[in-house]
Structure 1
Amino acid sequence: MVHQYKNNGFNIILDVNSGAVHVVDDIVYDIVPLFETLSLEEIKEKFEEKHSEKDIYEAYEEIKELKEAGRLFTEDIYEEYIDSFKDRPTVVKALCLHIAHDCNLACRYCFAEEGEYHGRRALMSFEVGKKALDFLVHNSGSRTNLEVDFFGGEPTMNWEVVKQLTEYGRSLEKDNNKKFRFTLTTNGILLNDEILEFANKEMSNIVLSIDGRKEINDRMRPTRNGNGSSYDIIMPKFKKVAESRNQNNYYVRGTFTHNNLDFSKDVLHFADNGFEQISVEPVVAQPEEAYAIREEDLNQIFGEYDKLSAEIVKRKKAGNGFNFFHFMIDLNGGPCVAKRLSGCGSGCEYLAVTPWGDYYPCHQFVGKDEFIMGNVDEGITRLDIRDKFKASNVYSKEKCKVCFAKFFCSGGCAANSYNYQGDINDAYDIGCEMQRKRVECAIMIKAAMAQD
C-alpha cells in the first residue's frame, strides 16, 4: 500500500508496510500511482507533454530501484503474524487507578460526568489500591517497568491515598524486580507546593488539564460553584510545574470542541506562555451535543493542523520549538510490532480500577456495567471480555485494513469505536479522518526538519 499527498510544499510518498517515507519531485510523484499498472511506454505517452522522455525514464528507474530495495510497494508481512500475536501471553503492564470519583470542576464535555462515571461519588481506599498494585505485580510476568496513572475525577481530592499507594508501590519494587512509573493527571485546582514537591520526586509524568486561552478554558471548564476563573487559578501553577520539571516529563493537555475550531491558537497560546510539551485533542461527544465535532467541521480542522504544523517547523528552525503530542511519530524506530498492531492494549495489558475495586478495559468504559471484567478481590473473571480486546487489532477491523495510517494509530480507540458504532472492532469515523490528517502533518514536519 502506498499513500501520497502534498503538504506545505512537499510531495510526500509513504510506503505503508515498510514505513519508508520519500520526499520526491513532481515527476516521481506523478508516476508512482501508475507504476504498477502501466508500462514505461504507456507512462511516457501519458506524460509526454508534461515531462521529457529522459526525465520520465530516470524517474521510472528510480522508482524501480526503490521497489527492488524494499522501500516502495512492499508486501504486508504483519498479517501473517497476527495469529501468533493473538495467542500471546496476557501480561498486564499498566493500571489507571480511579483514586477519586469526584471533581472540583464541572467540565461541560466530561465523559466522567464530573467524576461520577454514571454512578456515585467515591474515593478509593488504600486497601483497594493496594490490592490493585498487588494484582499488577503478580500479572505482569517478567516485565520490569509498570505504569500506574492516578486518575479521576480529580485525584488530588484523595491525595493522602495517592501518597500511600506510591509508597507501597515503591516497597514492592526491589523484591519483585519491578519499577513503577507513576503519572498524575490533575486539573490543578488543589495543586500546591507540597503536592508538587512529592510529584516531582515520585511521578514520572504529570498531565495538566487546561484547554487553552482563558475564554476557551473557562467556557468549558467552569468551577463547581460557577464563581471565579479556573484558568486564573491553575495557569500560574502549571507554569511552575513545567519549569520545576525542566520542561520535560509533563503535558499541558487540552480539549478542543466545536466552540474553538481555531484550536491552533490555543496550542500557540500554551507555547507563547513557555510550555514545551503540549497536547490539545478533539472532544469526543455525541452529535446532539452543541460542542461536538461534526463532519462539516473537518475542513477547518484540517486547515488548523496545517497551520500548526507549519508554525512548528518555523519555530523549531528558529530554536524556540515545542512538542505537540499528536505530531510526535518515530519514523526510524517506532513502537514494537505488537504495539503497532493493537495500540494501547486496553482490556488486556491496560486496565482501569474504580474506587470500589472493579476492573474495566480502560477509563472510558468505566460506568458501563457490561464491561466489568472482575474486581480486586476475585481478579479477572470475565475472560471473554479480555479475550475480545486481546484479539482486537488492525486486521480485525475492516476499515483499518485499507487505511494508510493503521500502523501509526494502531487501530484507534476501542472506546470511541464502541460509543459510536457499538463494536470495539469498528471505528469512530470523524476521529479517523482527523488522525489521518495528523499523521500527514507529522510526516511533513519530519521532512521539513530533515531538509537543512
Structure 2
Amino acid sequence: MANRPFELVLHVTHDCNMRCSYCYAGRPRPSRMSLETARQALNLAHDFGGQFPELVVGFFGGEPLLCFDSIVEFTHEAEMASHLWNWPLRLVMTTNGTLLTDERAAWMALYGFEVTVSLDGAADSHDQQRVFAGGRPSHERVVDGIRALLRHTESVRVAMTVTPATAGHLVENLDHVRELGVSEIHVTPDYSSLGWTPAARRTLRRQLAEASRYYARHFARLTIPPLDEKVCARIDPDGAWPCGFGWAKLAVSAEGNLYGCERMVAQDDDPRLRVGNVYDGLDEQKLIALRRQADLTSDGCRGCDVERQCQRRCACVNLARTGEIGRPDDFVCSYERGRIHAAGLLASELVRRRSAARMPAMVLQEEACHV
C-alpha cells in the first residue's frame, strides 16, 4: 500500500457535551491530553510509521473542540515535526459540530483541516439519538456549525449513523445533508444496537438500494464512500485499502495509552486491547497478534461468494457485535451484502444514465451518415 498514509489519532479529551444513545466511547469523563503526551505520540508515530509517504493526524474524543486551545498547540507541534522529518502532514478532525464557530472554522480552514461532523440527517432522526448532556436536541446547533465550516472551506464531511429506528428514512436524511451543501456523506449503521431485527435489516437493505439510485442522480456533486468502496471492491477486490488496524494506524488516549484503532479506546480500561503507552513504548508483537486475530477467516465466511468484497475483518465492528475482533455476526453479513448489492445497482444505474445521455447524439450521428 505504497500510497497509503499513516494515521495517528489523538483523543485530546474523553469529555463530551453530548450524550448520544449509541456512543461507543463509553461514559464521558474529565480528561485532557497534555502537550508532552502529544509530542511523544508524534515521535512514536514517526518511529513506527515513518516509512509511509504521509502522516495524517486526527483529533478525536470525546468532543475535541472542548479543548480547542490544546488542538491549536498540537497542530503547531505537528507542523514543526512534519517540517523536521520532511514528512507530509494532513490534519483531520471528527466533531459533533455543536462548538464550531466562524472563528474556529476560519482557523481550521487556514491549516487545511478536513472536518467530519456527526449529523444523522433531519431533526426527527438526528434528535432521537444525539442530544446534549441535559437532554436538549442538538440538530439546530450542529447545522449552524456545518454552515460555519462551509463559509470557509469545502473540506466538510458528514458522518451519519443509522439506527433501526431511522433506517427507513436513510434516503431523506441523505437528501437533507446534501441540501446543506455537504458533498461527502459517510453512512454507518449503529453496530452496538441489539435492535437489528430481521424486519429492520430488510428495511436497511431496501433503503441502501434506494440510496444507490439517489446517489446516481446526484453523482456529479456527491460522494458516499461506503458505496464507492464496494463498487471498487467489485472491480478489484485486491486493490481496495484494508483497514489500517495493526499496521497503518495508532490511536492515543488522553492519558497516552496506545490502541490499534480509535474505536477501541472507549473507557481506556481494557488491557486486552491496549498495546503500550507513549512514554513506555509500543508493544509491536501484541499489535501484530491482534491484527492476526482480525485477519482470521470465520468459519461462517469460508467459501462465501462475496468474501473478497466483504469488510468482515473490521476489528472494531466485530468487537462491538461479538466481543471478538476476529468474529463477525449475521448482522455484519447482512449489512455487507446490502452494501455490495447497492453498489452493483449504483454501477448499473450510472452506466444506464450515461447510455441514455449519449443516445440522442448517437441517433443524430447515425441519421447524418444516411443523408
1:225 lines up with 2:134 in the alignment: yes
C-alpha separation in 2, matches of 1:219 and 1:199: 29
Q: Contact 1:326–1:438 at 8 Å: present in 2 too?
A: yes
Q: Contact 1:395–1:401 at 8 Å: present in 2 too?
A: no
> How many percent of aligned residue pairs carry the same amino acid?
23
1:390 lines up with 2:269 in the alignment: no
Structure 2 counterpart of 1:435: 336
**Distance apart, 1:149 and its partner CA:** 1.1
Structure with larger RCO (C-alpha < 8 A, sep 6+): 2
Cα 1:333/1:131, change in 2 over 3 Å = farther
Structure 1 counterpart of 2:78: 169
1:362 lines up with 2:261 in the alignment: yes
Deviations 1:271-323 (A, max 9, x none): 23332211232101252xxxx3233311111111111111222334xx6x422
C-alpha separation in 1, matches of 2:41 and 2:342: 40
Structure 2 counterpart of 1:325: 225
Superposed counterparts of 1:308-387, under 5 Å:
308-316=211-219, 321-329=221-229, 331=232, 337=238, 340=241, 343-366=242-265, 367=268, 368-381=270-283, 383-387=284-288
Gapped regions of structure 1 (runs ≥ 5): 1-84, 86-90
SS of structure 2 residue aligned to 1:238: helix
Amino acid at match of 1:254: M
Query: Which moves more between the two structures, 370-379 or 408-417?
Result: 408-417
Q: Contact 2:120–2:160 at 8 Å: present in 1 too?
A: yes
Structure 2 counterpart of 1:419: 320
Work out which of the residue numbers 272, 278, 281 in structure 1 matches 2:188: 281
C-alpha separation in 2, matches of 1:409 and 1:200: 35
Cα 1:127/1:210, change in 2 over 3 Å = same
Superposed counterparts of 1:211-290, under 5 Å:
211-227=120-136, 229-246=137-154, 249-262=155-168, 263-287=170-194
Work out which of the residue numbers 105, 109, 114 in structure 2 matches 1:200: 109
**Distance apart, 1:144 and its partner CA:** 2.4
Amino acid at match of 1:256: V
C-alpha separation in 1, matches of 2:13 and 2:339: 33
Structure 2 counterpart of 1:80: none
C-alpha separation in 1, matches of 2:185 and 2:347: 18
Cα 1:442/1:361, change in 2 over 3 Å = same
**Distance apart, 1:143 and its partner CA:** 1.8
Amino acid at match of 1:237: G
Cα 1:152/1:426, change in 2 over 3 Å = same
TM-score between the two structures when normalised by the length of structure 2? 0.85
Amino acid at match of 2:183: E
C-alpha separation in 2, matches of 1:180 and 1:194: 23
Q: CA RMSD in A?
A: 2.6
Moved segments of 4+, more than 6 Å? 332-336
* Structure with greater Cα Rg: 1
C-alpha separation in 2, matches of 1:339 and 1:386: 22
